[in-house]
């Protein structure tokens, strides 16, 4: 099981390094969105607006990044993978790969966003922690939803409809946490929220692991 997961993750990375398609596309997406915001806003004085804009960019960048994870594979490749590995290993390897991809994407977005628009964050450690945990949450929900959406009649529009309601609990916690980080006022202890966010990630990954076998067998 563990060996299968490691091999499958290795496969994802090799494929990515060969084509550099996904990484290039999503980085271009994130950077150009930030650039559009920079052109229209210049700098942002209001901290709440800064925060909201960041998470909107982040949400759609993550959706774009992960939505291809199952739909991008041909049916033949999927069948071949399933003859070699257990479904649990397939979904876990996809989730882990997407988490890494989304975290890289998030960190690059933070960097570009900081350079172009500015960075009013007071507690940078908390902000990065939130960004990493939040993007891990996005990645695990989106991976599962992309598995569901790929089973329908190839409708990518369905991806957004299915995932956004499920992503909102993560978004609510993440926005609360990053507002604490941005304002630097510890009105509420952030530890509880961080634990809740991590818990939500574990629950999502566990559900994906249990339910995925029912999705792939025809």
Partner 1 sequence: MAIKQHWWKALGVALVLYSIVMGFLGTVPALWVLHETIRNLYFHVTMWFAMMTMLTISLGYSIAYLRNFKREYDVIATEAANIAMLFGAIGIVTGMAWANFTWGEPWPNDPKLNGVAVGMLAYVAYFILRASIDEISKRGRIAAVYNIFAWVMFLVFVNALPRMADDSMHPGQAANPGFGALAPGMRTVFYPGVVGWILVGIWLLNIRKRSREIEYKLLQNELN
Nearer to partner 1, 37 or 142 (CB): 142
Question: Toward partner 1, which CB reaches closer, 77 or 172?
Answer: 172
- Candidate residues 173, 174, 180, 205; the one interacting with partner 1 per rule CB under 8 A: 173
**Closer of 104 and 158 to partner 1 (Cβ):** 158
Q: 23, 132, 175, 196: which one contacts partner 1 (CB under 8 A)?
A: 196
Residue 184 burial (CB count, 10 A): 12
| Sign of torsion over alpha carbons 105, 37, 32, 121 | negative
Classify 1 as helix, strand or coil. coil
> Residue 109 Cβ, how far from partner 1 at the closest point, in Å?
25
User: What b/e string do you get for 25-55 counting C-beta neighbours within 10 Å, with b at 16 or more?
Assistant: ebbebbbebbeebbeeeeebeebeebbebbb
155 sits near partner 1 (criterion: CB under 8 A) = yes
Under DSSP, the state recorded for 42 is: S
Half-sphere exposure of 79 (CA within 13 A, CB side): 4
Q: Which is nearer to partner 1, 19 or 49 (CB)?
A: 49
How far is it, in rounded angstroms, from Cα 186 to Cα 184? 6
Near partner 1 in 117-146, by CB under 8 A: 144
Dihedral sign for Cα atoms in the order 185, 193, 95, 6: positive
* Contact range with partner 1 by CB under 8 A, out of 52-60, 93-101, 118-126, 170-178: 170-178
Binding window for partner 1 (CB under 8 A); candidates: 13-21, 71-79, 101-109, 209-217: 209-217
Q: State which residue, 76 or 218, has the beta carbon closest to partner 1.
A: 218
Least gap, CB of 63 to partner 1 (angstroms): 14
CB atoms within 10 A of CB 217: 8
Q: Pick one of 56, 111, 124, 172: the residue that binds partner 1 (CB under 8 A).
A: 172
Q: How far is the CB of 12 from partner 1 (least distance, A)?
A: 23
């Amino acid at each position: 099981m563990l060996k299968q997961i490691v091999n499958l993750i290795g496969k994802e990375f090799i494929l990515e390094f060969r084509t550099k398609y996904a990484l290039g596309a999503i980085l271009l997406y994130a950077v150009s969105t930030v650039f559009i915001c920079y052109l229209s806003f210049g700098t942002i004085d209001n901290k709440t607006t800064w925060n909201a804009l960041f998470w909107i960019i982040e949400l759609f960048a993550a959706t774009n990044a992960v939505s291809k994870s199952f739909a991008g594979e041909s049916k033949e490749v999927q069948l071949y993978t399933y003859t070699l590995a257990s479904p649990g290993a397939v979904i876990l390897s996809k989730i882990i790969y997407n988490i890494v991809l989304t975290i890289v994407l998030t960190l690059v977005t933070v960097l570009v966003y900081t350079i172009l628009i500015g960075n009013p964050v007071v507690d940078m450690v908390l902000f990065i922690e939130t960004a990493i945990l939040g993007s891990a949450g996005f990645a695990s929900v989106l991976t599962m939803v992309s598995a569901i959406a790929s089973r329908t009649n190839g409708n990518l529009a369905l991806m957004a409809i299915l995932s956004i309601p499920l992503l909102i609990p993560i978004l609510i916690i993440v926005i609360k946490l990053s507002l604490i980080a941005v304002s630097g006022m510890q009105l509420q202890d952030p530890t509880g929220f961080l634990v809740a966010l991590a818990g939500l990630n574990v629950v999502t990954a566990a559900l994906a692991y249990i339910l995925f076998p029912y999705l792939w067998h025809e």
